[in-house]
Amino acid sequence: MKKKYLYLFPLLIILGMVISFSLSLADFKDFKSTLEVFMSRPENIVHNRKSPVNETIASPESATRIDNGVTPTVGTVTPPPANPPVKTLSVPILMYHEIGDGPSSLYVSEKNFRAQMHYLRSNGYKIVTMTQAREMLANKQIPPKVAVITFDDGYVSIYNRAWPILEECAFPATVYVCSSFPGLYNYLTWDHIKILHSGGVEIGSHSHTHPALNTVSPTALAQEVVGSKQILEQKLGTKIDSFCYPCGAYNENIPAVIKKAGYTSAVTVNFRKATSQDDLYLLPRIRVFKADTISSFAKNIQ
């Protein structure tokens, strides 16, 4: 029996060598396979995992682009802001006085005025009256490229020089008249005012005698604000909605007086575009100066 077992020892030794060699070969193949995977897709060897994993890999484009709320951080989505910024609505209200050649900055030459009106027309501006602009501002519904053309004091040049150019361009305007001025030298007559009104020009009040309203008594203030409205409405047979502060002067109490008198808006001489956030009784305007070029004019209204 002992001799029989002697033959088993060499067999067991050989069998052990074969098994050991086989295991080493498997480990070698496994290591080789892992090495090949790493060399071909190194991003898949994550946390000691050897097989491909379903992870999102950032592309070069996504590393530098934010698109549809996805930030460069892979897999992170940022929701849109709860209250996105709202673009402020605005409209330039242009302020003119006299059209013609004169010594002061109140004058705008007929040539320049025509060039400015043709600029507005060729650039697609929609011209509205002050009452129409007031409704747009109040409702916060202002289309792009809307503007208002206003004239202070009621000079006769509005009828003789500005009105023909406005008709060329089919533009309305708003003229602020002092109710005691019609018929005075260099001012519109009532006939002029009626013709302008029938042609689509809105007539507003510029007070009765053009004082600085912050310097008059309460009784005089009522006559300047309420009295001028009554005279204009009687002469023209229409409601007067818009007011313009003489000399641009007012105090903290006067806008309430204007509103109580029945006006729906009032304009100042504050230099900027009117926005939907402005007080409708303290609306700013863009004054057009004698020396304005088309470039400066365009810059002021854009």
Residue by residue, DSSP assigns 74-123 as TT-BPPPPSSPPPPPPEE-EEEE-EES--SSTTEE-HHHHHHHHHHHHHT
Name the least confident of 36-50, 119-133, 134-148, 152-166.
36-50
Q: Do both 164 and 26 map to the same domain?
A: no
Q: Do both 190 and 225 map to the same domain?
A: yes
15 or 101, which is more confident: 101
Asked if the structure places residue 291 within a domain, the reply is: yes
Asked if the structure places residue 84 within a domain, the reply is: no
Q: Do both 155 and 223 map to the same domain?
A: yes
Render pLDDT for 187-204 as a digit per residue (tens, 0 to 9): 999 999 999 999 999 999
Q: Is the pLDDT confidence value at 5 over 60?
A: no
Q: Do both 51 and 125 map to the same domain?
A: no
Q: Do both 186 and 259 map to the same domain?
A: yes
Q: Is the pLDDT confidence value at 15 over 50?
A: yes
Render pLDDT for 73-114 as a digit per residue (tens, 0 to 9): 344 444 555 554 445 589 999 999 999 999 999 999 999 999
Render pLDDT for 220-263 as a digit per residue (tens, 0 to 9): 999 999 999 999 999 999 999 999 999 999 999 999 999 999 99
Domain that holds residue 168: 91-301
Reference 143, options 130, 131, 126, 157; nearest CA is 126
Q: Do both 145 and 288 map to the same domain?
A: yes
pLDDT at position 9: 54
Terminal Cα distance for the chain, rounded: 115
User: Are the C-beta atoms of 37 and 45 separated by less than 8 Å?
Assistant: yes
Asked if the structure places residue 2 within a domain, the reply is: no
Asked if the structure places residue 115 within a domain, the reply is: yes
Q: Is the pLDDT confidence value at 163 over 70?
A: yes
Reference 240, options 264, 217, 260; nearest CA is 264
Asked if the structure places residue 8 within a domain, the reply is: no
Q: Work out the pLDDT band at 264, boundaries 50, 70, 90.
A: very high
Asked if the structure places residue 297 within a domain, the reply is: yes
Asked if the structure places residue 207 within a domain, the reply is: yes
Q: Tally Cβ neighbours within 10 Å of residue 137.
A: 22
Q: Is the pLDDT confidence value at 67 over 70?
A: no
The structure tokens listed for 133 are: 């602009």
Q: Do both 27 and 161 map to the same domain?
A: no
Alpha-carbon distances of 36 from 24, 40, 41, 43, rounded to whole Å: 18, 6, 9, 13
CATH number at residue 206: 3.20.20.370
Q: Do both 207 and 121 map to the same domain?
A: yes
Q: Is the pLDDT confidence value at 215 over 80?
A: yes
Q: Do both 98 and 188 map to the same domain?
A: yes
Asked if the structure places residue 230 within a domain, the reply is: yes
Q: Do both 227 and 141 map to the same domain?
A: yes
116 or 12, which is more confident: 116
Q: Do both 54 and 118 map to the same domain?
A: no
Q: Is the pLDDT confidence value at 52 over 60?
A: no
For residue 212, the 8-state DSSP code is -
Q: CA 187, CA 182: separation in Å to the nearest integer?
A: 6
pLDDT at position 82: 55
Q: Is the pLDDT confidence value at 131 over 50?
A: yes
Q: Do both 36 and 164 map to the same domain?
A: no
**What's the structural domain count of the chain?**
2
Q: Is the pLDDT confidence value at 29 over 60?
A: no
Q: What is the pTM of this model?
A: 0.72
